[in-house]
Chains A and B, each alone.
Chain A
């Protein structure tokens, strides 16, 4: 009977304030439980007296009654917890009873565990809510069992619905946050997207005077004495504060151990949204007066080319500030004063980008920086994120859901403001803790962190330079590109960059990488094809489809050629792949080492050998002959003696004659590979000769007109030419039949008896009436010897003629095997006679059945091709 105890766990969860009372109750419960057990021991046991007692009806009835009562009690208790148990029937076996009780206990324990988990989660995250009637198990006694079961069911299902609700909320939030106008336009923020080098925005160089007067300055180099007021002369090569950085000394107080100053709770910390110039000035004054502050930026890069700083969060020890830079974009520069003050410590987390963004957008430079990320690296933490930092020191779980939110949205929502201020709020305290840990570890470490942070500050913002082949590293390929695709990819990549610069959008927004790749891969022929490749369709693709189509058409026009890499390139690439694959680092080198370390003084922990330091520093060449194995190599140049290498059975004399014979035979045998090598040499010679021959021919022929054409050649403008041959009357008939032939295959083309006057200037349709054309066609058909209409034999038009022809020329079957195929390769004897496939002469000669059949089939294929 341990349900009450179990029950306890849940109550404990629910009524925290009554822990004391609960504890008492538990004690009481255990006491009564013990008493119960004691009492129950006094009852007659089955197998001993129970059967005897049971024969008395009063005892029997009493037992039954109490059993019923017990059942009812158990049911009531479990019901009140919210998970009703399966009640055993009265009089059922003890086994059944225990089974039921154990089941109920399991259920309870499980529910306690789940509820506990959910509640814990709910504490952290307000959105997950457990339905009330489950947490408040009390009122269940009013509910029916069915309702309880329903609640149980929905509880498990509810996690899904709760999640769905969460997602819905997020989506609505996202819909609210959509930015319709680019802040660049609304606030008139200009950015120089040209490829010109970045010009520093620094207007006034704060804290430069100190250096000149010799307070900070350490060396006598006067190179820094320039006129800082004209910042226009500043190029992107040199950091404006380079001298200050180099002579920067970490203030003594920052290197000392101070008890960490705990941050104030968020609710007690005043938060100021800085969005006017006056507020900014007061903020600057405030920052000038403190000793340290922490900074973080929110940045947006999808809808700008260079990127846009959307929010600056600053926290001092007692206040949080959030700067909205858009309304006063050009004024933020005044913050340069506290930021470059070497006596004020700036704490960043992961500042490598932030520092550059500050330079780029506002001309704010940072001197005296502590990067918590660097410190975490130095302390070898398991994770290096800000969330982990806050969790570890401030015991706060940061919700990073807004990390990638669109921070350009204005007005800022409360949740986002909270998120933003939390980024910096705990940073100063974390800095304190990190500093103490660094000081504990080793004194030099803190200085190292400062030095590394300083290195981050020295970096100068440089505009991204367009690399025409940059896609090779930017995009992962699943296939190799042929030269068409490569051309398309290069052009698209350039187009994308140009558009992005012009429209102040990121290249990814103009045309995402995967679409770029699929466009280049498929090379669509039309606009529809382009739209298929890009889904969802980016705005600029829709707007400038024509440009893309042009690129596609251009790249389709390029002749496909197989890029044959030279042997050296191939081997290089192959070797390089091997090199790239197993990048040797400290651990792999030890793991992959083929040396047996078991007999050396190899320290596996440190991975170091005990090596005499004096000998260590020697170069290879100076190495002693005894130590290097080179001496062995050099002495082994003597050719091996075959006799010395013969191995024979013990007690037998080596049969030198046989060995010699065998060796001789082996020498004679030409291995296949040797044949192959011979072949390669012969092939190279042949190629060389061919090349020479071709060159000689080319030189001989000089600039003869081209006689062979391929479809890769540029299209030739065919001007109407007057052909003197056409004037020859003998040819007229031939031409007519030819035209008749062609009419079947290509009805669109002109079909005509070539008129003697100006034959090519006009088509028949232009100069003849319909009737005349029909007549002419019929005449042509009469003259023709092969039927040109599909399925129609020529007999129907002129049976007599065809009969004669069939008698004369049908019998002979052509044997292809016996025919001399070289006939085809012979050059045409008469170079002036162009080959005419429809020439009358050939037609008359081979007018056999076979030929006819072929004709038909070719006709058929002709029509099919035309339809295509």
Chain B
């Protein structure tokens, strides 16, 4: 059994595919199977719809799926910045996928119906949830209508706005899960805050001016 072996790119994993299905991290050349990434050979089985056992062989970097995916994948928790807000969508830029930060940002869409659980269409305007330049925690999900972009969802308690700035660039503080207050003017604004510990802070005003 070769499962669990450490392989490097270009190492031959199998002489022939046999009954396995090709998973990720493998390529076939000359009818032999090679590894395309460095990692551990992993064999797992799953049952398809008619209860046939299918064995998949793959090479993965680690146990955690997060480490195996490079691009945002469906189900990944990402940090994104809201760039613009329209009537039905908010345009977002994915800054980091999990704890991985890339040089480039991925553009994504946050549809209105994915703002709140169990409420497909609502009359509340977008600004009650997110506003431009907010940093949000969101989950990448699949949407039937949008195929060409990553679709985000904040329809969970733990997802939503984590950081936001007011009109003058001052940090806003959380009052409750639906309201933030400006540290400068004391004005309250509605937001859908993520129910996470408020550990991350924006730099204070003094830092702001120097930066």
- Which residue numbers of A lie inside 8 Å of B, CB to CB? 467, 469-470, 472-473, 570-576, 578-580, 583-584, 586, 589-590, 592-595, 607-609, 611, 616-621, 623, 628-630, 632-633, 669-676, 678-680, 682-683
| B70 within 8 A of partner (CB) | no
A630 to B74, CA, bound (A): 31
Interface of A is mostly: helix
B196 x A672 contact (CB < 8 A) = yes
Question: Given known contacts A590-B29, A592-B27, A672-B200, is B56 in contact with A576 (CB within 8 Å)?
Answer: yes
Q: Please, which residue of chain B has its CB at the minimum distance from the CB of A569?
A: B46
B79 x A673 contact (CB < 8 A) = yes
A676 x B54 contact (CB < 8 A) = no
| B31 within 8 A of partner (CB) | yes
Question: Given known contacts A575-B56, A576-B46, A672-B163, is B31 in contact with A586 (CB within 8 Å)?
Answer: yes
A675 x B29 contact (CB < 8 A) = no
A628 x B8 contact (CB < 8 A) = yes
Measured between beta carbons, the chain B residues less than 8 angstroms from A592 are 27
Shortest CB-to-CB span from A352 to chain B, Å, is 21
Measured between beta carbons, the chain A residues less than 8 angstroms from B29 are 589-590, 593, 595, 607, 609
A673 x B96 contact (CB < 8 A) = yes
A623 to B2, CA, bound (A): 14
B8 x A633 contact (CB < 8 A) = yes
Interface of B is mostly: loop
Measured between beta carbons, the chain A residues less than 8 angstroms from B32 are 616
Contact of A672 among B22, B50, B79 (CB under 8 A): B79
A315 to B28, CA, bound (A): 48
B11 x A620 contact (CB < 8 A) = yes
Known: A595-B27, A633-B38, A671-B99. 13 other contacts (CB 8 A): A472-B51, A571-B65, A576-B54, A579-B56, A584-B28, A589-B28, A593-B27, A617-B15, A618-B12, A629-B11, A678-B196, A678-B197, A679-B196
Q: Please, which residue of chain B has its CB at the minimum distance from the CB of A473?
A: B50
8 tightest CB-CB pairs across the interface, nearest first?
A: A629-B8, A589-B28, A472-B49, A473-B50, A675-B196, A670-B199, A672-B162, A679-B196
Shortest CB-to-CB span from A165 to chain B, Å, is 46
| Interface residues in B105-156 (C-beta closer than 8 Å to A) | 135, 137
Sampled A-B contacts (12; CB under 8 Å): A575-B56, A575-B65, A576-B46, A579-B24, A579-B56, A583-B21, A594-B36, A620-B2, A620-B7, A633-B8, A674-B200, A679-B197
Most chain B CB inside 10 Å of its own CB: which residue of A576, A593, A609? A576
Q: Please, which residue of chain B has its CB at the minimum distance from the CB of A586?
A: B31
Measured between beta carbons, the chain A residues less than 8 angstroms from B137 are 672-673, 675-676
A829 to B29, CA, bound (A): 77
Number of A-B contacts defined by CB within 8 Å: 143
B38 x A675 contact (CB < 8 A) = no
| B89 within 8 A of partner (CB) | no
Question: Given known contacts A592-B27, A633-B8, is B54 in contact with A675 (CB within 8 Å)?
Answer: no
A567 to B10, CA, bound (A): 31
Shortest CB-to-CB span from B22 to chain A, Å, is 5
A630 x B56 contact (CB < 8 A) = no
| B73 within 8 A of partner (CB) | yes
A578 to B46, CA, bound (A): 13
A595 to B30, CA, bound (A): 13
Q: Please, which residue of chain A has its CB at the minimum distance from the CB of B22?
A: A584
Contact of B199 among A470, A575, A584, A674 (CB under 8 A): A674
- Residue-wise, chain B 187-211 has the 8 Å CB interface mask toward A (1 for contact) of 0000000111111100000000000
Measured between beta carbons, the chain B residues less than 8 angstroms from A674 are 99, 199-200
Q: Please, which residue of chain B has its CB at the minimum distance from the CB of A588?
A: B28
Measured between beta carbons, the chain B residues less than 8 angstroms from A607 are 29-30
B73 x A620 contact (CB < 8 A) = no
| B75 within 8 A of partner (CB) | yes
A632 to B29, CA, bound (A): 24
| B169 within 8 A of partner (CB) | no
Measured between beta carbons, the chain B residues less than 8 angstroms from A683 are 158
Measured between beta carbons, the chain A residues less than 8 angstroms from B44 are 572
A628 x B65 contact (CB < 8 A) = no
A578 to B29, CA, bound (A): 20
| B86 within 8 A of partner (CB) | no
Measured between beta carbons, the chain A residues less than 8 angstroms from B30 are 607-609, 611
Measured between beta carbons, the chain B residues less than 8 angstroms from A576 are 46, 48, 54, 56
Contact of A573 among B24, B46, B96 (CB under 8 A): B46
B158 x A679 contact (CB < 8 A) = yes
A672 x B135 contact (CB < 8 A) = yes
Contact of B200 among A467, A617, A630, A675 (CB under 8 A): A675
Measured between beta carbons, the chain B residues less than 8 angstroms from A586 are 28, 31
B6 x A675 contact (CB < 8 A) = no
Measured between beta carbons, the chain B residues less than 8 angstroms from A571 are 65, 75
B12 x A572 contact (CB < 8 A) = no
Measured between beta carbons, the chain A residues less than 8 angstroms from B11 are 620, 623, 628-630
Measured between beta carbons, the chain B residues less than 8 angstroms from A618 are 12
Measured between beta carbons, the chain A residues less than 8 angstroms from B58 are 575
Measured between beta carbons, the chain A residues less than 8 angstroms from B5 are 620-621
B contact residues, total (Cβ < 8 Å): 54
| Interface residues in B28-72 (C-beta closer than 8 Å to A) | 28-32, 36, 38, 44, 46, 48-51, 54, 56, 58, 65
Contact of B27 among A594, A630, A672 (CB under 8 A): A594
Contact of A671 among B27, B28, B56, B79 (CB under 8 A): B79
A780 to B65, CA, bound (A): 71
Most chain A CB inside 10 Å of its own CB: which residue of B24, B28, B74, B163? B28
A791 to B110, CA, bound (A): 49
Q: Please, which residue of chain A has its CB at the minimum distance from the CB of B79?
A: A672
Shortest CB-to-CB span from B156 to chain A, Å, is 10
Shortest CB-to-CB span from B195 to chain A, Å, is 7
A576 to B46, CA, bound (A): 8
B10 x A629 contact (CB < 8 A) = yes
Measured between beta carbons, the chain B residues less than 8 angstroms from A594 are 27, 36
A470 x B50 contact (CB < 8 A) = yes
B75 x A570 contact (CB < 8 A) = yes
Measured between beta carbons, the chain A residues less than 8 angstroms from B74 are 574
Measured between beta carbons, the chain A residues less than 8 angstroms from B73 are 574
A676 to B194, CA, bound (A): 9
A470 to B49, CA, bound (A): 9
Q: Please, which residue of chain B has its CB at the minimum distance from the CB of A634?
A: B6
A572 to B31, CA, bound (A): 26
A313 to B56, CA, bound (A): 46
Q: Please, which residue of chain A has its CB at the minimum distance from the CB of B202?
A: A669
Measured between beta carbons, the chain A residues less than 8 angstroms from B10 are 628-629
A586 to B98, CA, bound (A): 36
Measured between beta carbons, the chain B residues less than 8 angstroms from A669 are 200
Shortest CB-to-CB span from B53 to chain A, Å, is 12
Question: Given known contacts A672-B79, A673-B77, is B200 in contact with A579 (CB within 8 Å)?
Answer: no
A469 x B79 contact (CB < 8 A) = no
A674 to B100, CA, bound (A): 11
Measured between beta carbons, the chain A residues less than 8 angstroms from B23 are 575, 578-579
Shortest CB-to-CB span from A168 to chain B, Å, is 43
Q: Please, which residue of chain A has its CB at the minimum distance from the CB of B101?
A: A671
Measured between beta carbons, the chain B residues less than 8 angstroms from A675 are 137, 162, 194, 196-200
Measured between beta carbons, the chain A residues less than 8 angstroms from B56 are 575-576, 579
Measured between beta carbons, the chain A residues less than 8 angstroms from B21 are 579-580, 583
Contact of B49 among A473, A570, A679, A680 (CB under 8 A): A473
B196 x A633 contact (CB < 8 A) = no
Shortest CB-to-CB span from B3 to chain A, Å, is 12
A669 to B96, CA, bound (A): 15
B6 x A633 contact (CB < 8 A) = yes
A467 x B50 contact (CB < 8 A) = yes
A621 to B13, CA, bound (A): 10
Shortest CB-to-CB span from B83 to chain A, Å, is 17
Question: Given known contacts A574-B74, A620-B2, A676-B77, is B7 in contact with A630 (CB within 8 Å)?
Answer: yes
Measured between beta carbons, the chain B residues less than 8 angstroms from A678 are 196-197, 199
Shortest CB-to-CB span from A665 to chain B, Å, is 9
Shortest CB-to-CB span from B197 to chain A, Å, is 5
Most chain B CB inside 10 Å of its own CB: which residue of A470, A590, A628, A669? A628
A303 to B196, CA, bound (A): 63
